[in-house]
């Protein structure tokens, strides 16, 4: 029987020195806490011991707020939640928690790599099912190769979100042409477009598509190579992130090169 280790103890000790994994299976060198999940709150968030735990490395369709017209649910959000619930329920709700460099995210939720008893990474399963997109949230970058690879397989097989994209391109989700977007198309998605210009100021690097401005803030420069970013000019790229409206235009802020396909080694 697995030894139960408290989440509090793991948070105190930290796991900052662990080796990064390229597989979706649990690295035997990882320290893991086995516990019981309660339910999936969305396609990328679990309730565990009455605390929300965000699955590191994926972005599932946002549940939104059905009663708020400015925050509608994204397509397949309920299906993604049901899919995550299905996988934890099929393993008697037992999950293993592995923390990365940073155990808490900006909204106060815990964030972790969550495994099933068979050693499979839940985030990898969700990406493989086409129920979530891979993301690169520094400094929590373990399992990047696994997650982007699983997403690519789902995309090639047109599963989940990718079947939706094929059958309902008018939804502009999860992928949209930059030229087809308006200032109403905020929220997380992948945007494809030709890079019209690349420039930099003392505060940010600017990658401008035809209708979308991608911004790399100064705090994230250490993750990027300026020459590689500048070389994107004139090329068609796919960038993924949260779109937001500023002064009537659509913008996206990126903190890691893996969020741009031509800079992503996976």
Yes or no: say if 173 and 243 are a contact pair by the CB < 8 Å rule.
no
Q: What is the pLDDT of residues 170-186, one digit of tens each?
A: 999 999 999 998 877 88
Distance CA 204, CA 54 (A): 28
Yes or no: say if 254 and 241 are a contact pair by the CB < 8 Å rule.
yes
Closest CA to 105 of 226, 243, 255: 255
Confidence at residue 57, expressed as pLDDT on a 0 to 100 scale? 97
Yes or no: say if 47 and 88 are a contact pair by the CB < 8 Å rule.
no
Q: What is the pLDDT of residues 30-53, one digit of tens each?
A: 899 999 999 999 999 999 999 999
Q: What are phi and psi of 233, to 5 degrees?
A: -55, 125
Give the CA-trace dihedral at 129, 59, 163, 212, to 10 degrees. -160
Distance CA 266, CA 261 (A): 9
Confidence at residue 4, expressed as pLDDT on a 0 to 100 scale? 33
Q: pTM of the prediction?
A: 0.88
Q: What is the pLDDT of residues 212-232, one digit of tens each?
A: 999 999 999 999 999 999 999
What's the angle, vertex CA 19, arms to CA 190 and CA 32, rounded to 5? 90
List the beta bridge partners of residue 59.
133
Structural domains of the chain sorted by starting position, each given as residue range(s) with its CATH number in brackets: 7-157 (2.40.50.90), 173-261 (2.40.50.140)
DSSP 8-state class, residue 260: B
CB-count exposure of residue 240 (10 Å: 0-12, 13-18, 19+): buried
Yes or no: say if 189 and 174 are a contact pair by the CB < 8 Å rule.
yes
């Amino acid at each position: 029987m697995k030894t139960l280790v408290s989440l509090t103890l793991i948070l105190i000790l930290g796991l900052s020195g662990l080796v990064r994994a390229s597989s979706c299976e649990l690295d035997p060198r990882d320290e893991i806490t086995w516990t019981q999940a309660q339910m999936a709150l969305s396609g990328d968030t679990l309730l565990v011991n009455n605390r929300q735990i965000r699955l590191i490395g994926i972005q599932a369709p946002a549940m939104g707020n059905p009663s708020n017209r400015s925050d509608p649910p994204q397509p397949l959000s309920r299906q993604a939640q049901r899919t995550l619930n299905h996988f934890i329920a099929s393993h008697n709700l037992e999950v293993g928690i592995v923390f990365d460099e940073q155990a808490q995210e900006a909204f106060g939720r815990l964030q972790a790599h969550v495994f099933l008893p068979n050693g499979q990474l839940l985030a990898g399963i969700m990406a493989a099912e086409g129920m979530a997109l891979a993301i690169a949230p520094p400094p929590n970058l373990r399992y990047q190769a696994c997650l982007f690879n699983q997403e690519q397989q789902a995309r090639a097989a047109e599963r989940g979100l990718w079947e939706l994209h094929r059958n309902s391109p008018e939804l502009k989700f999860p992928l949209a042409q930059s030229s087809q977007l308006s200032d109403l198309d905020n929220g997380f998605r992948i945007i494809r477009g030709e890079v019209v210009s690349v420039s930099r100021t003392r505060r940010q690097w600017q990658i401008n598509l035809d209708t979308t401005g991608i911004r790399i803030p100064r705090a994230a420069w250490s993750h990027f190579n300026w020459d590689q970013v500048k070389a994107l000019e004139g090329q068609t790229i796919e960038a993924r992130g949260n779109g937001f409206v500023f002064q009537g235009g659509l913008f996206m802020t990126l903190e890691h090169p893996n969020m741009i396909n031509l800079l992503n080694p996976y």
